[in-house]
A and B are shown apart, each in its own frame.
Chain A
Amino acid sequence: MTRALAALAGALALLSLLVGRAGFGVVDTAILWELRAPRTVLALAVGAGLGLSGAVLQGLLRNRLADPGLLGVTGGASLGAVLVYYYGLAATLPVTLPLGGLAGAGLAAAAILALASRTGTGAALLLAGLAVASLTGAAVAVALSFAPNPFALAEITVWLLGSLEDRGWREVLLALPAVLAGAALLLGLGRRLDALSLGEAGAASLGVDVPGTVRRAALGAALAVGATAAVAGGVGFVGLIAPNLVRGPVGERPGALLLPAMFAGAAIVAAADIAVRLVPLQQEMRLGVVTALIGAPLLLRLVVTRSERP
């Protein structure tokens, strides 16, 4: 299953290199290298980071509805980017946009880690994440309410919907190291997440350092999700749906889901990013809108099939 999903993500990456406004195929090596290649790498990184983080958080919190958005780092990244727009820095110095997103995600992650480390439980992490997400959401709403001009308001709103349009190697260099570092932390958690299926006390009785596992999961997910949100904006549903999609064929053992969910996430975002370029509209559809359009029916289907199972 893991190999099949990796092959699917690879095939979609190849297709992503061939699709764009300039036409199908390799129409120009500059377009291929400067536009489509970084966009494809980012789509894979964003999807892989979200899918893997979703699988880890669902295992950690023992809840199939856990989503990386609950951590609050996406909200932190959004707030950072929105402030860059708000103060007009994005137009004069574009690199400040992903940097603002990274700074916001970093601050949110630091706050969550500090709050959750006091008790070191999954419930504490969830509560801290919800508090930070609510706070950053409120701050973004304030920024929207007091947007300096209608153009800034439109830019902020569009950015919040998520996109990989016009992202280049600069964004790849900013996001990829953090996603890789986060993935390295998260992929090593498999057996600990298996043990946590017995609850936190059950896992501790098997010799698992539960507070350490919570901290590592929070840090890994914050790195992966924060970096992706900083460069791509809000891409919802992927972290929620990717683990649930692979749970059927792979089984429910949390540790067994990590790699398949990572590749499924990469495939979903790569497919969505191809779709936004294929839909003939004046302006590209937003990536976050398409992932929600794909994700919501899939989630509904899972709800129906799950309720039908005895």
Chain B
Amino acid sequence: MIAANGVVVSRSGRRALDGVSLAFEMGRLTALAGPNGAGKSTLLSVLAGLLAPDAGSVTLDGQPLHAMAPAARARRIAWLEQGARASWGMTVREIAALGRLPHGDSGAEAVEEALAACGLAAMAERRVDALSGGEARRAMLARVLATRAEVLLLDEPAADLDPAQCFALMRLLRAEAAEGRAVIVVLHDLALASRFADRIVLLAEGRVAADGTPEAVMTEEEAGRVFGVRIGTDALPRVLP
């Protein structure tokens, strides 16, 4: 279990996270949602050990994250940055193989599995800068999967993906959760979150505004209050997986 305990992060005098306490169990897919600037990406960075909180702590199976060696932490927690892209025209396979860096091995089997899972086996030798936005995003996801970490933290992985690819991505993440991983994913598509997540956490102004099953959270009262718009829960997507 990965847990944030009373996490506070301040930026430019503003509290990006204000006493967030959340525990994420293995084997579950959690969607993080909320308005822009709610603190979703900051929370993922803190959970990944990339950003030290000003107060509070993050623990992985009871062990404080800051006490873990960086490589040991990276073997157990994989993080996909929002809008992640590679600076060089590396091949898809080379990108996926970066996921093995914390292990210090080539992990050929894990890399091939990740490529296949992301539908990239046929384009493994192509340069990422020659791919479409959605294909390049899947290459970055393959890198995260190749690590075979226990915790997957994904910041808006569905951006740039068409509906069919979104569904394929969410099915893949569900399968990863079914294998015992804690999958925590930032999503702006509330319909996608409702359909696939076991749990939805709504953040607003750095605080947990709602937390529970999609049925409990995605109500007109809860979600409407957080986003400041009317949420029509009877009009979830017409596109079916």
Contacts and interface: CB of A to CB of B under 8 A. Distances in A.
Interface in B56-111: 69-75, 77-79, 81, 84, 86-91, 94, 98-99, 101-102
Interface stretch (A28-36, A103-111, A159-167, A205-213): A205-213
A264 interface: no
A205 B86 contact: no
Contact of A209 (B50, B70, B102): B70
A216 interface: no
Given A194-B98, A194-B101, A208-B101, A202 B81 contact: yes
Given A206-B102, A208-B70, A252 B78 contact: no
Nearest to B129: A252
Interface of A is mostly: loop
A252 B127 contact: yes
B89 A252 contact: yes
Given A201-B81, A205-B79, A195 B88 contact: no
Contact of A206 (B87, B88, B98): B98
Contacts of A195: 98, 101
A195 B127 CA distance: 16
Interface in A180-217: 191, 194-199, 201-202, 204-209
Given A191-B101, A209-B70, A253-B94, A204 B50 contact: yes
B3 interface: no
A197 B99 CA distance: 13
A251 interface: yes
Interface residues of A, number: 21
A239 interface: no
Contacts of B45: 201
A211 B75 CA distance: 20
B98 A207 contact: no
A254 interface: yes
B101 A205 contact: no
B48 interface: yes
Contacts of A310: 130
B91 to A, nearest CB: 7
B50 A201 contact: yes
Interface string A84-114: 0000000000000000000000000000000
- Of A199, A204, A207, A254, most buried by chain B (CB within 10 Å of CB) is A207
Contacts of A191: 101
Contact of B81 (A194, A199, A252): A199
B101 A251 contact: no
Top 4 nearest A-B pairs by Cβ distance?
A207-B74, A207-B71, A62-B87, A252-B88
16 contacts: A194-B90, A197-B87, A197-B90, A197-B98, A204-B50, A205-B74, A205-B78, A205-B79, A206-B74, A206-B98, A206-B99, A206-B101, A207-B69, A207-B70, A207-B71, A207-B102
Given A199-B81, A208-B101, 11 more contacts: A62-B88, A194-B98, A195-B98, A197-B87, A197-B90, A198-B84, A206-B74, A207-B73, A207-B75, A207-B101, A251-B91
